[in-house]
Structure 1
Amino acid sequence: AKAIEYFVVEDLSNWYIRRSRRRFWKSGWDEEKKSAYETLYQVLVELSKLCAPFIPFVSEILYGVLVKPLATGKESVHLEDYPLSNESQIDETLLRSMELARKLATLGRAVRNKVNIKLRQPLRKAILVVPREEERRFILPLADLIQEELNVKELEWVTHLPESVDIELKPRFAILGPRYGKKVQEIARFLTGCDRVRSRNFLEEGHLAFSLDGEEVILKKDEVEIVLKSREGFAIESDEGYAVILDTKLDAELKEEGIIRDFIHTVQTTRKENGFDVEDRIELYLLAGTDPAFANILKKYTHLVQDEILAEAILFQETGVGTEEVREYQLDGKRILFALRRRS
């Protein structure tokens, strides 16, 4: 049951559905949109069977909503055979590459949280540390996906941490003390003077061996705190030898696009509040009283905004909508007045 819960929340909802949103709401009915819906349908049907022993009533409702209108299933989900995996359909290389892509995306989000930069704010560059050549080779086909998840303009792939990143090793005295007693101070001195190559190997391999008074000491990651320090304007997070370094400097162009991404998020929220369906096409009105600087930025990014919010048109005008439809929003110190209408 825990494994199913993790799959639904992390794999299905937070990853597949979120990553496929544009495929679901795009115009027309091409093969890409068709395959997205068919995949989600198949997953939900099998999920209703998997959940049946744990949440029998909810599973029955889900199964009925999905299967009965098409008359493709049995009278009840509880009459179905319990699903079994088909190992011939498992692509191990794809699974490994997607798992690594998600790890790098998670590290990227951790970097942004550390420096308090929202994911909607584009950044110039990400340096990705992937130690093994084989992994870099099979993850490169997912480079566009990773770049989109990190929301950066450029990716740089490297094998080791750049020289601009300092590695500092600090002993965890609470763990090392009971194990090594009086020798813990000597271990601390060794870690303080540890050269970059050994520190980097420890970061990537997870253990550090050295001799102390003729006795071999092998330290593991849980015994040592690893502190990574990047130069000003960059921030880093790492895990198990992998790392993501983000260029956190914001120029005028990046700031403008960040403002537009925030505005898109606001419009999407307003769509939901107005009860619009996910595929509804709309018209966006930018009204008098809006900060002129924002209006100029919006004009530069008109096509991007239209694609993201499914707007058939963006109209810059003073009047033409009822006051009850107008939304006021403050963004980066700029006042914005706008309204949405469903396109008939």
Structure 2
Amino acid sequence: HAIATMLFDNVAYKNLIVNELILDKTGQKMSKSKGNTADPFVLFDKYGADVTRWYLVTTSPPWRPTLFDEEGLVEVQRKFFGTLVNTYSFFVLYANIDGFNYSEEKIPFENREEIDRWIISKLNSLIVEYKDLMDNYDVTKAARAVSTFTLDHLSNWYVRRCRRRFWKSEMNDNKLAAYQTLYECLVTVCKLTAPFAPFISEEIYQDLNSVTGKENFESIHLADFPAVGTIDKELELRMEIAQRVVYLTRAMRAKSNLKVRQPLKKIMVVVDKDKREPLSKMKNVILDEVNIKELIILEDDSEIVSKSAKANFKSLGPKFGKKVQLISKEVKDFTSAQIKALEDGNSVKLTIDGEEFSIELEDVEIVSSEIKGWFVESDGGVTVAIDTELDEGLIAEGLAREFVNRIQNMRKDAGFEVVDKINIKFTGSELLNNAVESFTKYVAGETLAENVEISDKLNGGFKQDWQIGDQSCSIQIERISF
């Protein structure tokens, strides 16, 4: 400050963030004598400076001691940077195939698909949150917000749900909107990442902008801060409710060993009254995500959970004395309506031998049990029940979806391009053969197959043997030359 005042008649800086000590993973001070030091230059060579910086910023606020664990660098490299690069690579792969360079007129926000409008709204909400956090020097929460957006919203939801739009052969407004939306997200994420990971953000920005020429800045570090565009909070809320139902349903599938590729018949959801209409608007999104045929929204969980009541003698005894045994018999016979009244905060009136008694929620224990054939779970104000019983049609469709998965793996193993057309020959059990035959059109559409044929003569192309559940099969794929 003294030098700055002497030379420029002003202070050197107004605010300053000072890093606290970096300790080892057990909280001990790093020391050569203890052998617990970490050589930053080794870390830079092994993981990169960006990964190291991002890890240190997101692990804990700079003004608090940081417990350094190299495993954290591995996780950051894999999760955040791996996801960012994979998302960028996905965009580049299909943009190069279609020759997208953003030369077309920008499609207005209101003319884009709902999921485009949602991710743009989430992006703009992120910009607002990020700017507020950075203005208050909360760099840790700012970087974490960028990470959450990139992982949970951009990659795991938007890109995954929009893959089919990029796969389409023809370029139309729908596909163009997907390209423009993903491009805008990538550029903005890079700008928000740049203060913490300057190298990879610069490289991705330069690669994108060199093709489109949308900005005239020499470097991302000289670019303007992203402007805030349209924010649709109602749409964000709808999608958040849908995501909550989807994530809970996926967890339930995992617990009951039901793969997402296995379609199910029905899902029933219980949410608060103010969330029922938003949930109803997202029915198709939810059904597509969880691979279930029908969604029913309920007012309460009486249809999916069987409830009974029994006396809580610790509460009833002191209140009703000798009458407690008579009252406990009445409580045991409570109807679902009486139980619901208690759960809603109301009392239930009982008349025994001409005497009236008022029963409150604390006077009873409510026992819940799932309806046979259904799996029920609740979390964060959402109760979900899925019908786990499978009929022949659902089993056949599940086998066909698993068959498609094996074909996709084979395409990668064989080194085929994403646009290559193929022929499929296969042989397997009667159940598997019938399932694939029933869903031939679906299989062909998902795998870019011109022909799907049952044959014992698998003597050409790329062949692999598979076990799909209890069903064995051999599959051959062959690239079609035009």
Q: Same fold (TM over 0.5)?
A: yes
Contact 2:426 2:458 in 1 (8 A): no
- The alpha-carbon distance between structure 1 residues 285 and 167, as it changes in their structure 2 partners (threshold 3 A), is same
Q: Does 1:17 align with 2:159?
A: yes
Which of 223, 226, 234 matches 1:83? Answer: 226
Equivalences, count: 307
Pair 1:200–1:218, CA change in 2 (3 A): closer
Q: TM-score, normalised by structure 1?
A: 0.80
CA drift at 1:321: 4.0
Preserved contact between residue 304 and residue 376 of structure 2 (Cα < 8 Å): no
CA drift at 1:198: 5.7
- 1:39-97 CA-to-partner distances (Å, cap 9, x unmatched) read 111111111111101110000111111111222222211111222433xx111111110
Instruction: From the superposition, tell whether residues 285 and 306 of structure 1 become closer, same or farther in structure 2 (CA, over 3 Å).
Output: same
- Deviation, 1:109, is 1.1
User: How far did residue 187 of structure 1 move?
Assistant: 6.8
8 Å CA contact 1:123–1:254 kept in 2: the answer is: yes
SS in 2 for 1:322: coil
- Quick one: which of 259, 263, 271 aligns to 1:130? 271
State the SS of the aligned residue for 1:162: helix
CA distance in 2, matches of 1:226, 1:45: 53
Q: Which residue of 2 aligns with 1:173?
A: none
Following the alignment from structure 1 to structure 2, what is the Cα–Cα distance between the partners of residues 188 and 311?
70
Determine the C-alpha separation between the residues in 2 that align with 1:228 and 1:93.
34
1:111 aligns with: 252
Partner of 2:473: 336
Amino acid at match of 2:275: E
Q: Distance in 2 between matches of 1:320 and 1:240?
A: 52
Conserved? CA contact 2:403–2:436, under 8 Å:
no
Deviation, 1:249, is: 0.6
Structure 1 CA distance for aligned equivalents of residues 455 and 222 of structure 2:
60
1:98-129 deviation line (CA, Å, top 9, x unaligned): 00010111121122122221111111111111
Which residue of 2 is the match for residue 301 of structure 1? 439
CA contact (8 A) 1:167 1:200 kept: no
CA separation in 2, counterparts of 1:105 and 1:24? 23
Q: Which residue pairs with 1:6 in the alignment? A: 148
What is the CA deviation profile of residues 242-298 of structure 1, one whole-angstrom value per residue up to 9, with x for unaligned ones? 2111011111111111111111111122222223333333222225xx323322221
3-state SS in 1 of match to 2:423: strand
Preserved contact between residue 399 and residue 436 of structure 2 (Cα < 8 Å): no
> Separation in 1 of the partners of 2:344 and 2:444?
48
Q: Contact between 1:131 and 1:158, CA under 8 Å: does it hold in 2? A: no
Deviations 1:183-242 (Å, cap 9, x if unpaired)?
x9947999x98963266448xxxxx99xxxxxxx999xxxxx998531110011112332
Contact kept in structure 1, 2:280 and 2:297, CA below 8 Å: no
2:293 alignment counterpart: 153
Alignment of 1:236-247 (within 5 A): 236-247=376-387
Q: Is the 8 A contact 1:238 1:244 kept in 2?
A: yes
In the TM superposition, 1:243-262 aligns within 5 A as 243-262=383-402
Tell me, what secondary structure is at the counterpart of 2:301? coil
Q: 8 Å contact 2:421–2:479 — kept in the other structure?
A: yes
The alignment's C-alpha RMSD in Å is 3.0
| Percent identity of paired positions between Structure 1 and Structure 2 | 35
Q: Which residue of 2 aligns with 1:196?
A: 339
Partners in 2 of 1:27 and 1:199 — Cα distance? Answer: 58
Tell me the secondary structure at the aligned position of residue 224 of structure 2.
coil
Give the distance between the partners of 1:91 and 1:121, measured in 2 at CA. 34
Deviation at 1:164, TM superposition (A): 4.4
Letter in 2 for 1:304: Y
Residue matched to 1:264:
404
2-structure distance, mates of 1:279, 1:298:
22
Deviation by residue 1:303-323 (Cα, 9 ceiling, x = unmatched): 111122222221333336437
Query: Of the two structures, which has the highest relative contact order with CA contacts closer than 8 Å and spacing of 6 or more?
Result: 1
- Alignment match, 2:233: 92
One of 315, 325, 339 as aligned partner of 2:453: 315
Question: 1:119–1:150: 8 Å Cα contact kept in structure 2?
Answer: yes
CA positional deviation for 1:168: 8.2
Matched position secondary structure for 2:279: helix
Is 1:68 aligned to residue 210 of structure 2? yes
Gap runs ≥5 in structure 1: 170-183, 203-207, 210-216, 220-224
SS at match of 1:20: helix
Helix, strand or coil for the counterpart of 2:218?
coil
User: Which secondary structure does the structure 1 equivalent of 2:386 belong to?
Assistant: strand
Structure in which a larger fraction of residues adopt strand: 1
Question: Structure 2 vs 1, CA of residues 320 and 231 (structure 1 numbering), >3 Å: closer, same or farther?
Answer: closer
Q: How big is the shift at 1:28? A: 1.1
Q: In structure 2, what is the equivalent of residue 275 of structure 1?
A: 415
Counterpart-to-counterpart distance in 2, 1:60 and 1:7: 19
Q: Does 1:39 align with 2:176?
A: no
Between the aligned partners of 2:286 and 2:157, the Cα distance in structure 1 is 12
